[in-house]
A = this chain, B = another copy of it.
């Protein structure tokens, strides 16, 4: 049996929106180096940077029927996250579905498969992260679940989790940790701003982070060229 879950929770809108100030790398670090989708998830155009609340959607291989079902569950500020039930790179999504999502205020698509109409999506400015660009059409025969937990490109996503996506890829923040991770992201960014100034001024990370003693303790030796291999 397949189900569509309605009225799923979402994080506070101000929290979700505030994540857009932070890059995927920062959020990933802030929540303890977890939550990344696989590196094959690439944006259709660059630069692109969004945050939003996840609506999750399973699809059968070569079958995009459930995306139409999922669209109805999307609200302004959402990001649609779709994964096939087995690996597939067909073109599940194109300009018409993008028009539909845009009309509902959806901020982007995370598609663990292929998409098409890449040029039009770029013109429309609808941000999409996908596994492939491929024109291959899909059928509408098999149902699956909407708004149940899914594993998408190696990451567990629950409906309502916060998604952040940029040129580096996609990260998922569990709904219940959103406030905490946002605060940590902010703290990290501020700390990095200070370090960056010192680096730009020519200071070395070796000194700023105090690595020299620990490296020596590990046994690192400095020798002059020519060295004995």
Residues of A that sit less than 8 Å from B by CB: 1-9, 23-25, 28-29, 33-34, 36, 38-39, 42, 46-47, 49, 60-63, 65, 68-69, 71-72, 85-91, 94-97, 99-100, 102-104, 114, 116-120, 122, 132-137, 139-143, 147-149, 151, 154-156, 159, 166-169, 171, 192, 195-196, 199-202, 204-206, 209, 211, 215, 218-225, 227, 229
Contact = CB atoms under 8 A, between A and B. Distances in A.
Nearest to A89: B39
Contacts of A85: 33-34, 62
The copy count of this chain in the complex is: 6
Contacts of A42: 133
B225 A25 contact: no
Nearest to A104: B202
A-B residue pairs, 6 tightest by C-beta: A61-B62, A141-B141, A39-B134, A118-B167, A25-B135, A68-B205
Contacts of A159: 225
Nearest to A6: B224
Contacts of A224: 5-7
